[in-house]
Amino acid sequence: MSVQGALEGRPVIIVGAGFGGLFAARRLARGGAQVVLIDRRNFHTFTPLLYQVAAAELEPEEIAYPVRTIFRGQRNVRIVLGEVQRVDVLARTLQVGQLVLDFGDLILATGSTTSFFGVQGAPEHTLPLKTPGDAVRLRSHILGCLEQAALQPEKAERMRLMTFVIVGGGPTGVEYAGALAELIRGPLARDFPLLDLREVRVILVEASRTLLGVFPERLGEYALRRLRGMGVEVRLAARVLSVGWRSLNFEEGRALEAASVVWTAGVRDGPAPARWGLPTARDGRVPVESTLQVAGHPHVYVVGDGAYIELDGAPLPMLAPVAIQAGEAAADNILRTAVGRPARAFRYRDKGTMATIGRNKAVAILGGRGFSGFVAWVIWLAIHISSLIGFRNRLLVLTNWAWDYLFFERGVRLIDPNP
């Protein structure tokens, strides 16, 4: 029986058009399956560059691409824009809006939400950086604080407006701290000639003793030196106790007045899969078998940040490369089982990790080797540009970066043009 014949009846439904869902849909579409791809948004987001939108370096549409356009050539992929209300894994049906859809196999790739680790006040008083909307709001907030500071005669209040705290010393926090320091000391210094920029503070707060915990220690130390050289105050082993409307408090008793607290410290799964009757681990992720199927539900696969995948005793990190590879592996298993072949165990290939720290500087591990400085930055640039979906996006981002690089200038600094 051909794959096409076997899959002709009930389609494969994929929930979520992030990295996991998108790459699963591509693989299945090429394999001849009937696919329904559901997302709340009509675009895929290239999340590794979100921090550059929040630093006014890129615009949201440069890191987002309409899902319909990605699958334009593929007649066997149907796109549905909507929120999934209900999944019945036993009856194999799913409700989105007023539609009820049957599925043969289901891939849940619903991603993650921010984890605040129970820090009091953090959900209300910190700014997240998970979606293009978050990034635009963060950019508007920071520019708005500087506009207010420019009109504020009292020094204490002015300094509070110009204190920017970033909680979390992982890749997002490190990258954003560097980009923000460059934005403020470069183009914004020229835009706000009357502000005393020595009053601006960019503070990066990390609970552990090193930055970039996922990297070898040497690269974390390099990032620390670079950030401090750029004027970023880095506070290691600093645990946030609570966040208030105007300040944040540390466990060791100190407090900090700040109008902007950005939260990049953690991610956890959204609550949806638990509602749909699937088992969940402590952090809300769904444990899957080595084949990415949910135990007892061989037609349900979970990939991406929402999946708890243990390999060699340790859980895989919530990163884009893991989601991409798991999405493709789940798609392969669906194509295999459709023709009676057994599902295969997922193997994650760590192709490398990297983070950029401002203009020209980055850290990277590739093929087990660590790189830092300009070489790492060029690698970072090449990999990110080639990964962007759609030739036009690549061209736009490259233009923007070239502009930034040549003129030490950011492209756009509009405060929320949408309202």
Q: Show which residues are catalytic.
A: 175
User: Binding of a second copy at residue 147 (CB under 8 A)?
Assistant: yes
User: Binding of a second copy at residue 6 (CB under 8 A)?
Assistant: no
Can you tell me whether residue 246 is helix, strand or coil? coil
Torsion over CA: 3, 6, 292, 289 (sign): negative
User: Binding of a second copy at residue 66 (CB under 8 A)?
Assistant: yes
User: Binding of a second copy at residue 41 (CB under 8 A)?
Assistant: yes
**Tokens 């950030």 sit on residue:** 227
Window contacting a second copy (CB under 8 A); options: 293-301, 308-316, 339-347, 406-414: 406-414
Best CA proximity match to 259, nearest among 153, 161, 138: 161
User: Binding of a second copy at residue 81 (CB under 8 A)?
Assistant: yes
In whole angstroms, give the CA distance from residue 293 to residue 260: 42
- Going by C-beta distance under 8 Å and a sequence separation of 6 or more, which residues neighbour residue 78? 11, 34, 35, 36, 37
Nearest residue (CB) to a second copy, 153 versus 340: 153
For 45, the token pair is: 């987001």
Q: How far is the CB of 318 from a second copy (least distance, A)?
A: 22
Nearest residue (CB) to a second copy, 162 versus 174: 162
DSSP-derived pairing of the beta strands 84-88 and 93-96 = antiparallel
Give the residue, chosen from 30, 86, 155, 190, that forms a contact with a second copy under the rule CB under 8 A. 190
Site for a second copy in 13-32 (CB under 8 A): none
Binding string to a second copy for residues 106 to 145, with x set by CB under 8 A, is what?
-------------------------xxx--xx-----xx-
Window contacting a second copy (CB under 8 A); options: 70-78, 109-117, 156-164, 226-234: 70-78
For 213, the token pair is: 């915990």
For residues 265 and 173, is the Cβ–Cβ distance under 8 A?
yes
Window contacting a second copy (CB under 8 A); options: 168-176, 190-198, 205-213, 316-324: 190-198
User: Binding of a second copy at residue 250 (CB under 8 A)?
Assistant: no
Give the residue, chosen from 366, 383, 398, 415, that forms a contact with a second copy under the rule CB under 8 A. 415
The helix (run of H) or strand (run of E) holding residue 176 is helix 171-183
Window contacting a second copy (CB under 8 A); options: 116-124, 147-155, 197-205, 208-216: 147-155
Give the residue, chosen from 255, 311, 382, 395, that forms a contact with a second copy under the rule CB under 8 A. 395
User: Binding of a second copy at residue 10 (CB under 8 A)?
Assistant: no
User: Binding of a second copy at residue 322 (CB under 8 A)?
Assistant: no
The helix (run of H) or strand (run of E) holding residue 375 is helix 374-387
For residues 182 and 200, is the Cβ–Cβ distance under 8 A?
no
In the Cβ-directed half-sphere of 45, how many Cα atoms lie within 13 Å?
Answer: 22
Q: How far is the CB of 194 from a second copy (least distance, A)?
A: 7
User: Binding of a second copy at residue 193 (CB under 8 A)?
Assistant: yes
Give the residue, chosen from 285, 396, 397, 401, that forms a contact with a second copy under the rule CB under 8 A. 396
Window contacting a second copy (CB under 8 A); options: 40-48, 176-184, 255-263, 274-282: 40-48
Window contacting a second copy (CB under 8 A); options: 39-47, 172-180, 303-311, 370-378: 39-47
In whole angstroms, give the CA distance from residue 135 to residue 112: 16
User: Binding of a second copy at residue 82 (CB under 8 A)?
Assistant: yes
User: Binding of a second copy at residue 5 (CB under 8 A)?
Assistant: no
Best CA proximity match to 362, nearest among 48, 19, 46: 48
For 342, the token pair is: 């057994």
Q: How far is the CB of 295 from a second copy (least distance, A)?
A: 33
User: Binding of a second copy at residue 184 (CB under 8 A)?
Assistant: no
User: Binding of a second copy at residue 412 (CB under 8 A)?
Assistant: yes
User: Binding of a second copy at residue 394 (CB under 8 A)?
Assistant: no
- 204 backbone dihedrals φ, ψ, rounded to 5°: -105, 125
User: Binding of a second copy at residue 351 (CB under 8 A)?
Assistant: no
Beta bridge partners of 120: 242
Torsion over CA: 280, 286, 288, 294 (sign): positive
Can you tell me whether residue 131 is helix, strand or coil? coil
For 303, the token pair is: 């990939």
Read off the amino acid at residue 216: P
Read off the amino acid at residue 41: R
Can you tell me whether residue 410 is helix, strand or coil? coil
For 406, the token pair is: 């040549």
For residues 305 and 4, is the Cβ–Cβ distance under 8 A?
no
Nearest residue (CB) to a second copy, 348 versus 403: 403
Contacts with a second copy by CB under 8 A lie at 41-43, 59-61, 64, 66, 68-69, 72, 75, 78-82, 97-99, 131-133, 136-137, 143-144, 147, 150-151, 187, 190-194, 392, 395-396, 399, 403, 411-419
